[in-house]
């Protein structure tokens, strides 16, 4: 049982490593790049035109003030 | 979706009725609420939910990613919020609240049966919806717990018994409909029951028979039926 678990764990780690940026020879993005990716996302038209809020505290505050429900969309700006 | 449904004029109209919150997982160090996706029950992207002003999730969007689909989820959330906070629900309101909760996946099968039993004066329309939802949950609860033809046939046997008692899912392109009849056919194949296999195949054809992407499936099933008939006639 313990051996089987170890084999599964080793396999999982191998899969995770194989798909990681390091294994694919890519350099992980710098913090500056990650910050820029995020800034680019919130500057896109779909985001600005519809009035999306990316601050959770502000969204809840506005929901309390207005009595409206929150429509929440979870997305990402990093590449797995 | 961002360049599609979320960019339309229709969506911008919809947006006026709600607070739009976009949580971005960026992997920037020190990111505020970096684990919010997981905290709100999300396991992948995109994840869309309705939340109240406290941030509590009151509906998870599971329908089409269109403005119409988003509006349906938000309407369910609003109805849920209104009814859940109301005292002394009428029988019709209690049925409606129960159906919304069913749609939101708030009950497992046993809980749903118990809650359904408490309802009184249910309209025929609501009763039909409740029966269909419970049947779908029962089918899911009887689904194979492991891979392999034995587990599939065991579930198929249970489904065949349901069918014999006149309890079948409504025709539709649903997961429960497909699983019900495909596993009945697996059970029929393993028990040499040609008539049952043909019934299952006919049900599947009624819904998926005209779909080009299902052509190979039906070709394989016709061949399996021919094999089954030959085996039954040969007395193997």
At B59-117, the pLDDT tens digits run 889 889 999 999 999 998 999 999 988 989 999 999 999 988 887 778 899 999 999 99
Cross-chain CB nearest to B12 (options A50, A53, A59): A50
User: Does B26 contact chain A (CB < 8 Å)?
Assistant: yes
Beta-carbon contacts of A27 under 8 Å, excluding residues fewer than 6 positions away, are A21
CATH 3.40.30.10 residue window(s) in chain B: 1-85
3-state secondary structure of B43: coil
Angstroms from A33 CA to nearest CA on chain B: 9
Cis peptide before B99 (omega within 30 of 0): no
**How many CB pairs below 8 Å do chains A and B form together?**
139
Please tell me the distance from the alpha carbon of residue B85 to that of residue B80, in angstroms, as a whole number. 8
A30: phi then psi, degrees, rounded to nearest 5:
-75, 165
Q: Closest by alpha carbon to A34, among A24, A23, A21?
A: A21
Tokens standing for residue B182: 């495909």
Contacts of B34 in chain A (CB under 8 A): none
Identify the burial level of A61 via C-beta atoms within 10 angstroms of its C-beta, where 0-12 means exposed, 13-18 middle and 19 or more buried.
middle
Beta-carbon contacts of B36 under 8 Å, excluding residues fewer than 6 positions away, are A56, A74, B23
Q: Measure the N-to-C terminal CA separation of chain A; round to a whole number of Å.
A: 32
ipTM field: 0.73
Q: What is the pLDDT of residue A22?
A: 47
Contacts of A75 in chain B (CB under 8 A): 2, 22-25, 45-46
Q: Do B32 and A78 touch (CB under 8 A)?
A: no
Q: Closest by alpha carbon to B11, among A60, A42, B2?
A: B2
Q: Do A73 and B52 touch (CB under 8 A)?
A: no
Q: Do A63 and B19 touch (CB under 8 A)?
A: yes
pLDDT surpasses 50 at A8: no
pTM: 0.62
Class of domain B1-85: alpha beta
Say if CB B136 and CB B162 are below 8 A apart: no
Q: What is the pLDDT of residue B234?
A: 78
Beta-carbon contacts of B82 under 8 Å, excluding residues fewer than 6 positions away, are none
pLDDT surpasses 60 at B22: yes
Beta-carbon contacts of B205 under 8 Å, excluding residues fewer than 6 positions away, are B218
User: Does A17 contact chain B (CB < 8 Å)?
Assistant: no
What is the percent of chain B where pLDDT is above 70? Answer: 99
Tokens standing for residue B38: 């997981």
Contacts of B41 in chain A (CB under 8 A): none
Q: Closest by alpha carbon to B19, among A65, A30, A40?
A: A65
Say if CB A70 and CB B53 are below 8 A apart: yes
Give the DSSP letter of residue B19.
E
Task: Provide the b/e sequence for B84-110 (b: ≥16 CB within 10 Å).
Answer: eeeeeeeeeebbbbbbbbbbbeebeee
Contacts of A66 in chain B (CB under 8 A): 19
| Residue to test with chain A: of B28, B45, B78, most A Cβ within 10 A | B28
Please tell me the distance from the alpha carbon of residue B39 to that of residue B36, in angstroms, as a whole number. 5
Q: How many residues does chain B have?
A: 236
pLDDT digit string, tens, across residues A25-75 = 568 899 999 999 999 999 999 999 999 999 999 999 999 999 999 999 999
User: Does B72 contact chain A (CB < 8 Å)?
Assistant: no
Pairing of strands B57-60, A70-76: unpaired
Please tell me the distance from the alpha carbon of residue B70 to that of residue B5, in angstroms, as a whole number. 10
């Amino acid at each position: 049982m313990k051996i089987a678990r170890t084999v599964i764990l080793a396999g999982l780690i191998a899969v995770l490593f194989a798909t990681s940026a390091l294994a694919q020879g890519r350099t992980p993005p710098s913090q500056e790049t990650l910050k820029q990716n995020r800034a680019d996302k919130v500057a896109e038209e779909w985001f600005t035109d519809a009035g999306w809020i990316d601050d959770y505290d502000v969204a809840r505050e506005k929901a309390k003030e207005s009595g409206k429900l929150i429509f929440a969309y979870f997305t990402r700006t990093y590449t797995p | 979706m961002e360049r599609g449904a979320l960019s339309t004029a229709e969506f911008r109209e919809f947006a006026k009725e709600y607070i739009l919150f976009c949580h971005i997982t960026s992997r920037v160090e020190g990111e505020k609420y970096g684990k919010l996706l997981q905290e709100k029950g999300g396991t992948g992207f995109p994840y869309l939910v309705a939340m109240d002003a406290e941030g509590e999730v009151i509906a998870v969007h599971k329908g089409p990613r269109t403005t119409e689909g988003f509006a349906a989820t938000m309407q369910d959330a609003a109805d849920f919020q209104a009814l859940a906070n109301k005292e002394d629900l009428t029988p019709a309101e209690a049925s409606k609240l129960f159906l919304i909760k069913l749609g939101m996946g708030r009950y497992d099968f046993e809980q749903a049966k118990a809650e359904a039993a408490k309802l009184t004066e249910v309209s025929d329309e609501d009763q039909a919806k409740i029966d269909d939802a419970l049947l779908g949950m029962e089918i899911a609860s009887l689904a194979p717990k492991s891979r392999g033809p034995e587990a599939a046939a065991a579930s198929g046997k249970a489904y065949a018994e349901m069918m014999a008692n006149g309890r079948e899912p409504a025709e539709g392109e649903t997961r429960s409909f497909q699983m019900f009849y495909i596993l009945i056919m697996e059970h029929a194949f393993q028990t040499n029951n040609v008539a049952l296999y043909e019934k299952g195949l006919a049900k599947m054809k009624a819904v998926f028979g005209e779909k080009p992407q299902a052509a190979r499936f039906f070709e394989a099933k016709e061949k399996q039926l021919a094999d089954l008939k030959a085996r039954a006639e040969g007395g193997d």
